[in-house]
Amino acid sequence: MVRPAFVPQQLAARLGKTPQERREIEAVLTKCLRFYTDNARQKGVPLNDVARALNYFISTNYYVYSLGSGPTQNEMDATRAVIRVNMAQDPTFRRMSDRQKQEAYETLIVLAGFVDLGFGTARQSGNESAAASFREMAKHNLETLLGTPVEKIHFTSEGLALN
């Protein structure tokens, strides 16, 4: 069972120092989640799909870090297929409650969406310093998740490759 989104509010409560900051953070993160879910609905792809959200997180952060040089749709599709197989075989993932899976799903989407939105907004307004900060955040997200330097991350027709 999927409950109403809760991660934007949860993250805002942790990150915001004042009630106003918490409201603003929650609004931005909710916008990121809504953007993803609206696009997914338009494309007719399933919602609440953790493998798809993880693929979105990886590909969006990679796209920002690499300044728009990939991955292709075929590479993303292959990566999602590998992620899905690995998740199905992962005992830790299989033991997760529905709420834990929803939390993972929402967190991946809002963090990737935040990097994408921030980077795009900074580039559009000509703020290269802010864009560089979001690019650095994308690098950190990838390296933290994948446990390898970003220079070793690339995509092939078989999906994500780390070497």
Q: What is the pLDDT of residues 48-91, one digit of tens each?
A: 899 999 999 999 999 999 998 879 999 999 999 999 999 999 99
Rama region for 13: left / alpha / beta (φ>0; ψ in -120 to 50; rest): alpha
Q: Give the model's pLDDT for residue 68.
A: 87
- Cis amide linkage into residue 149, ω under 30° from 0: no
pTM of the model: 0.91
- The residues that bridge with 156 in the sheet, in sequence order, are 159
The 10 Å Cβ neighbour count of residue 139 is: 20
Helices within 16-127 (DSSP H only): 19-43, 50-65, 73-89, 91-95, 98-124
3-class SS at 95?
helix
Q: Inter-axis angle of helices 98-124 and 50-65, to 10 degrees?
A: 20
Enumerate the domain spans of the chain.
Answer: 49-162
Q: What is the pLDDT of residues 6-50, one digit of tens each?
A: 899 999 999 999 999 999 999 999 999 999 999 999 999 888 899
Give every CB contact of residue 16 below 8 A, 6+ residues apart in sequence: 22, 23, 24, 25, 26
